[in-house]
Structure 1
Amino acid sequence: MSVKYLTLMTFICCLGRIQGDLAKCRFFGSTTVLTREGEHARLRCKLCNASTPLALSDLQTHGFNISWFSNASKVGHVQFSGNRSRITLEGTSLGFWPTFVNDSGNYVCSVSNGTYNIMSAVTTLNVKKNKGLCHDDVYPFSQHIGRSIMLPCPKLEDYSDKKENIIWLKDCTENVYTGDMYTIQKVQEESTGLYMCVLPLQNDGVQYNVTRTLNLTAKEYVEPFEPKLIYPIDEQIELELGGKKELECKAVMGKEAADFCLLYWNFNHNYLISSGDDEVYEGHNRIITEDNRASMIRTLVFVRIKREHLNKAFKCVLICHDTQQIGNIILLEKGKGDTAPVVLLLIMAVAVCIIVTVVYVKFKVYFVLCFRDFISRDESLEDSKEYDAYVLLLKSNDALLSANEETFALELLPAILEEKFGYRLCIFERDVLPGGASANDMLSYINKCRRLIIILCAECLAENSSMYELMTGLHQALVNRLIKPILIEYNPVRDVTFLPQSLQLILRSNRRVKWKSTSLSQNSYFWKKIRYLMPAKHI
């Protein structure tokens, strides 16, 4: 005797000894099979005394017989114990090829070994007249407009191996798909209607159909209203000590969500539930509904405000299914509001001003040059001056140094300012004709220029031949204010006490530029500072 057989016998004995009486299996837990006349239908055998269906495939091998009974006829029960011309016993299922209206009724199956009978629950077969393609009985489906849906062909568990042959008809006439499930990627108004799924089956060379009708409806999608705490968020309220006060915590949510949300007050991690003599407690929860929205309100009552209530957070907590929100209220004594935010704001404002000032002072040259280039300003068009700058070289008695300084003044300076940036320079050694260097001629040349560039490079200026030019230019710059000076310190001046007072004044001003070994590049700070001090000129 096999293990499977012993297991089945033990299970049958535990289910109860039912002695061949059909009435002992009550008609509960029934299922209904809907079909139309002329279509195929299949009834499954499910044992009513089992919490789950038994595996019935091998019952006949071990001496068990499966019989079907119907009370459809008025003369009594009809037993189907084997194949008939139209109604067939297919394993543990009963097949109709096809169904007729008079097949409607209740069906049960019996598993018996001659001693014990196990009866199935009732299966009701409802066969209706075939009045057209679409069924009167439909399976309802719905989806929001703009969303996708997969339509299954309902109650075809017995035909899982043949579902790929299902034919889908829209409004029962238009063939839209062939396969297991029909997918609509984006439901629209025109997608609604009746859908029929047709499963064709062959029996003895004749085709029969199993059909189901689905009714698809579409509706506008309404975004669910998310629960939200309205008040308080982070509040500060000034109150008088000893006074009475009521504060409201308010939250809004969808009407359906109101039953699943909780709103309460919390202070120092304690619930504020009234015990009759509390100085502070929470009132009853109120819910106000309007359209599809609900407002939930919970009151916090202060019978008498004490000092221990001040400067501490009273928390209002909203808890819903998938969200938790907390709002705070801090009580302050009236007239003694917290000035810390104001002080902090003032400190931040002062700090910002200092930072902006430092940045502007440090990068003022770059800002001004960028602004000039942006607006393409050209100051040389605003007057009748012939030159942008008069170059005055204060020569040293040191021949070697003088040679370097002259090279800078006569070659490098004009090469950058004239050729790269478009300025026009008046250089005494280059532009003043020999024999024409009288005092009046020098003054006339200086008056034709917008800037006076003084190249300072050594200390020994007491007997310098350019001293007259220097004094003339300084007089024009500092006394008459007809020209602005630019002082280039080519070599560091270690002792400035022997210089004229007017030149010392310029050395201490912002119109002084120091030459460095890194100043050769035209993008160096040296040339940017020179351009900043020179008249604005569109390159």
Structure 2
Amino acid sequence: MPVKYLTLVTFIWCLGAIQGELTKCPFSGSTTVFTREGEHARLRCKLCNSSTPLALRDLQTHGFNISWFHNAAKVGRVEFSGNRSRITLEGTSLGFWPTFVNDSGNYFCSVSNGTHKIVSAVTTLNVKKNKGLCHDDAYPFSQHIGRSIMLPCPKLDDYSDKKENIIWLKNCTENVHTGAMYTIQKVQEESAGLYMCVLPLENGRVQYNVTRTLNLKAKEYVEPFKPKLIYPIDEQIELGLGEKREIECKAIADNEAVDFCMLYWNFNHNYLTSGGNDVYENSSRIVPEDNRVSVIAPLVFMKIKKEHLNKTFQCVLTCQDTQQIGNIILLEKGKGDTGPVILPIIMAVAVFIIVAVVYVKFKIYFVLCFRDFISRDETLEDSKEYDAYVLLLKSNDAVLSAKEETFALEVLPSILEEKFGYRLCIFERDVLPGGASANDMLSYINKCRRLIIILCAECVAEDSSMYELMTGLHQALVNRLIKPILIEYNPIRDVAFLPQSLQLILRSNRRVKWRSTSLSQNSYFWKKIRYLMPAKHI
């Protein structure tokens, strides 16, 4: 005989030698099995003495008999001597195929070798009337909305090898899953309800069920309130010397967290305790406020002295997972810090400077946007025929003249006239041959709102160009009848050879430089040209 079975025989023999037959186990907590009428139930034999090392399923193999008893309310103790058609002895378990309401009661088993026996603890079987699929005996579960939950089928340890056959029903009608556990990845409000797990079992070619019902509740997640220091944060208080003052430090917490918090005053890294000092901390008090409480710790100054001024007094809130500190600085009355006054002034000046710099840098963009927004047009009531007179200072170099003429006769009109709706007067294009007299030039200039002068480094003005230039500059600078726009087609390295009036325009803000990147109509070159040209609704 193996050693472990010899141990049990010796244990049972010793029990018999000392106290004879052990009729019942000492009370160690009841075990109750809940089921419904018509379902299968199984009771396990549980020996109350934990010193028996034997596996109960092997007892009968080695000559130990297992008997089951039922303490019925009306007929007393009933012994199950063998298998019946409905109640079966399954090794060390008692099976019901199915259960009836009359099966309710206390059950226990005994293990015997013919001479001595040990009796198990009592197991209570509670069989209720079957009132339909969903019933009141539901295992409670809850989860916050938006989180996941894994629902197990409770108390099915005796059927661990069959759990994958469990069928899950939502509200006891809708089949939602098959398997040992049902997982809801993201709980919603509609996820709440009754869930039934049904384990089908077969006995004698008849199917029986073991069911459990779970009641799932979906809860809104509420962020737990964290204790918070309300006053002071960073305060400056003006007081007079010799004045008596009490300053209250206030914190707020919920009813549960307040027991784990401390609120106290600190000065120079030392606690301020009550006593006969000029400065001390008075007893704290708790004031209920709705579902929360306020904790107030008063700091008492019996007499304000110079050594108290310009020093930092700290109120400290210490809780389980947070520490917050509020500071108070005392100032002598009438000699307060000028920082609160100076700081806003400095900030206002800084903001003004930033706005001014941004406006100067992006003034052209702001003006163009404003013109487009209000559809402003300066060309409606001045009786001018042209928006600009284009003056090309020709060069003796044919190649350079060709580039300049292409810019003046093709590029400039293609953008200003075709894209932006301006009307240009270009002498070479718009004045008929044979009519280029000085009076004709002056009359055309007088019909224009702007004078566009195209200048390059290699320009050597001819007589006709020079007359046009001087006439236009006289109108622009002396009579102020027309505003000049100077386009620097090529960089000007030496301006000494230019007329003095032209040099003045070069140094003004009415000068625009042509670059290789200026071909796009959205470039800065064309935006500045539009800015210098009269406002006109496109």
Question: When the two structures are superposed, what TM-score results if normalisation uses the length of structure 1?
Answer: 0.76
| Aligned counterparts, 1:380-399, within 5 A | 380-394=379-393, 399=396
Cα separation, partners in 2 of 1:408 and 1:47, compared to 1, 3 Å: same
Please say if residues 143 and 149 of structure 2, whose CA atoms lie closer than 8 Å, have aligned partners that are also in contact.
Answer: no
Q: Which runs of 5+ in 2 are unaligned?
A: none
Aligned residue for 1:57, secondary structure, equals helix
1:328 — aligned with what? 326
In structure 1, the partner of 2:319 is: 319
Q: Is the Cα–Cα contact under 8 Å of residues 390 and 451 in structure 1 kept in the other structure?
A: yes
Match for 2:407: what amino acid? L
1:157 corresponding residue in structure 2: 157
User: 1:89–1:353: structure 2 CA closer, same or farther, 3 Å change rule?
Assistant: same
1:452: how far off? 1.6
Give the Cα–Cα distance (whole angstroms) in 2 for the partners of residues 311 and 382 of structure 1: 72
CA shift for structure 1 position 231: 0.8
CA distance in 1, matches of 2:65, 2:110: 8
Compared CA separation, residues 385 and 525, structure 1 to 2 (3 A): same
Is structure 2 residue 504 aligned with structure 1 residue 509? no
1:411 matched to which residue of 2?
Answer: 406
Q: Does 1:303 align with 2:315?
A: no
Greater Cα offset, 106-115 or 159-168: 159-168
* 2:122 counterpart letter in structure 1: V
Q: Which amino acid aligns with 1:245?
A: E
Q: Deviations over 1:50-86 (max 9, x none)?
A: 2899632223334433333444488975554644565
Alignment of 1:232-271 (within 5 A): 232=231, 234-240=233-239, 242=242, 243-253=244-254, 255=255, 257-258=256-257, 261-265=260-264, 267=266
CA 388–258 in structure 1, closer or farther in 2 if over 3 Å, else same = same
1:282 deviates by 5.5
Structure 2 vs 1, CA of residues 494 and 224 (structure 1 numbering), >3 Å: closer, same or farther? Answer: closer
Structure 2 CA distance for aligned equivalents of residues 392 and 280 of structure 1: 88
1:331 counterpart letter in structure 2: I
Q: 1:130-175: per-residue Cα shift (whole Å, max 9, x none)? A: 5855899734636589789877655443334445666778998x67
Alignment CA distance shift 1:480-1:163 (3 Å): same
Q: Is the alpha carbon distance of 1:110 and 1:438 closer, same or farther for their aligned partners in structure 2, counting shifts above 3 Å?
A: same
Alignment partners' CA distance in 2, 1:343 and 1:10: 96
Closer/same/farther in 2, CA of residues 425 and 63 from structure 1, 3 Å limit? same
Residues 210 and 316 from structure 1, CA distance in 2 versus in 1: closer, same or farther, beyond 3 angstroms?
Answer: same
Give the Cα–Cα distance (whole angstroms) in 2 for the partners of residues 342 and 32 of structure 1. 77
SS at match of 1:22: coil
Q: Mapping of 1:139-288 within 5 angstroms?
A: 139=138, 141=140, 143=142, 154-163=154-163, 201-205=201-205, 210=210, 214=213, 216=215, 221=220, 223=222, 226-229=225-228, 231-232=230-231, 234-240=233-239, 242=242, 243-253=244-254, 255=255, 257-258=256-257, 261-265=260-264, 267=266, 272=271, 274-277=273-276, 279-281=279-281, 283-288=283-288
Deviations 1:478-511 (A, max 9, x none): 2221101123445626253x75543343233212
- SS of equivalent to 2:296: strand
Query: How far apart are 1:274 and its partner, in Å?
Result: 2.7
Contact kept, 8 Å, 2:227 with 2:319, in 1: the verdict is no
The Cα of 1:97 is off from its aligned counterpart by 4.5
Name the % identity.
62
- Report the alpha carbon displacement of residue 288 of structure 1 after superposing the two structures with TM: 0.4
Taking the aligned partners of 1:15 and 1:443, their CA distance within structure 2 comes to: 138
Partner amino acid, structure 1, of 2:452: I
Distance 1:447 1:84, change over 3 A: closer
SS, match of residue 509 in structure 1: coil
Q: CA deviation at 1:419?
A: 1.7
What are the superposed Cα offsets for residues 341-389 of structure 1, whole Å, 9 maximum, x if unpaired? 6545544443443344334333434444455556665544443222222
Q: Cα–Cα, structure 1 residues 66 and 275, in superposed 2: closer, same or farther, change >3 Å?
A: farther
Q: 1:20 to 1:538 in 2, by over 3 A?
A: farther
Report the 3-state secondary structure (helix = DSSP H, G, I; strand = E; otherwise coil) of the residue aligned with 2:480.
coil
CA RMSD of aligned residues (A): 4.7
CA distance in 1, matches of 2:102, 2:491: 123
| Deviation by residue 1:298-323 (Cα, 9 ceiling, x = unmatched) | 22313345645745362442525xx5
Q: Distance in 2 between matches of 1:100 and 1:459?
A: 117
Matched residue type, 1:301: L
Deviation at 1:245, TM superposition (A): 1.9
Change (3 A) 1:121 1:426: same
Q: Matched residue pairs, number?
A: 523
Deviation at 1:412, TM superposition (A): 1.3
Distance between the aligned counterparts of 2:401 and 2:177, measured in 1?
97
* Alpha carbons of structure 1 residues 21 and 277: separation in structure 2 relative to 1, 3 Å: farther
TM-score, L = length of structure 2: 0.76
Which residue does the alignment assign to 1:43? 43
CA spacing shift, 1:250–1:309, aligned 2, 3 Å: farther
Q: 1:352 to 1:19 in 2, by over 3 A?
A: same
C-alpha deviation, 1:98, in angstroms: 5.1
Aligned counterparts of 1:350 and 1:270: Cα–Cα separation in 2: 40
Q: Distance in 1 between matches of 2:53 and 2:22?
A: 19
Distance in 1 (CA, whole Å) between partners of 2:464 and 2:99 is 132
Amino acid at match of 1:22: L
Instruction: State the AA in 2 paired with 1:49.
Output: N
Q: Which residue of the partner structure matches residue 530 of structure 1?
A: 529
1:217–1:495 Cα change, 3 Å: closer
Q: What SS is found at the alignment partner of 1:419?
A: helix
In 2, Cα distance between the equivalents of 1:41 and 1:27? 24
CA distance in 2, matches of 1:80, 1:60: 16
Query: 1:232/1:414 Cα in 2 relative to 1: closer, same or farther (>3 Å)?
Result: farther
Cα separation, 2, equivalents of 1:154 and 1:381: 89
Matched position secondary structure for 1:420: helix
Greater mean deviation of Cα atoms: 96-105 or 143-152: 143-152
Say if 1:405 and 1:457, in contact at 8 Å, map to a contact too.
Answer: no
Q: Is the aligned partner of 1:89 residue 2:89?
A: yes
Distance, in Å, in 1 between the alignment partners of 2:174 and 2:393 is 103
Deviations 1:388-427 (A, max 9, x none): 222334556xx33xx4564355331231221222043334
